[in-house]
Amino acid sequence: MDKETCLSIIQDIFSTNEFVKHCGIIIDDVECGVSHLHMDIKSDIHTNLTGYVHGGALNTLANTAVGVACCTVGARTVTLNITTDFISNLQAGHTAWAESRVKHRGHSTIVLTCDIFEKMPDGTKRPLTHSIASMYVKADDDRVPKKW
């Protein structure tokens, strides 16, 4: 399967998720076992009382990114556990970028990492969070092969 076809299938799968749409999470790119997403931080949706992005919003981005990465290896999953270390923060008007990677794909579980960062003008990535997730495989999805 080529990358563009896989990306299109996965974007279609997530297009029906109203929560993901409400949060403004965009699936930018995929590889086998990898997802790249972003979320533009808006003051009326994503920020806490201090004006910075709410930790739950960043964790939502991470959880969505790991779910998308699971789709890239042909799995429909639910979260068993996600542990997030919060490193830095953003204010409204900035963009949070996420990259998730499958570390282990078993028959019934998948273990992944997710790093969320801000892209800096000089091309570096300023880390915002680091997550480790365990996902339960509810079903295989034949639209995307386990390896491609």
- Domain range enclosing 44: 3-140
Question: Is 98 part of any domain?
Answer: yes
130 within domain boundaries? yes
pLDDT at 116 (0 to 100):
99
Residue 79 in domain: yes
pLDDT digits (tens, 9 = 90+) for 71-106: 999 999 999 999 999 999 999 999 999 999 999 999
Structural domain count, the chain: 1
- The answer to the question of residue 148 being in a domain is no
Q: Is residue 128 part of a domain?
A: yes
CATH number for the domain including 113? 3.10.129.10
pLDDT of residue 63: 99
Q: Would 147 be classed as within a structural domain?
A: no
At 87 the pLDDT is 98
Does some domain include residue 123? yes
pLDDT tens for 41-52 read 999 999 999 999
Question: With bands split at pLDDT 50, 70 and 90, how would you rate the model's confidence at 34?
Answer: very high
Q: Are β-strands 125-140 and 25-31 bridged in parallel, bridged antiparallel, or unpaired? A: unpaired
Question: What pLDDT score does 1 carry?
Answer: 85
For the residues of the chain, what is the DSSP string, one character each? --HHHHHHHHHHHHTT-HHHHHHTEEEEEEETTEEEEEEE--TTTTB-TTSBBPHHHHHHHHHHHHHHHHHTTTEEEEEEEEEEEE----BTT-EEEEEEEEEEE-SSEEEEEEEEEEE-TTS-EEEEEEEEEEEEEEEE-TTS-S--
Predicted TM-score of the model (pTM):
0.96
pLDDT attached to residue 140? 95
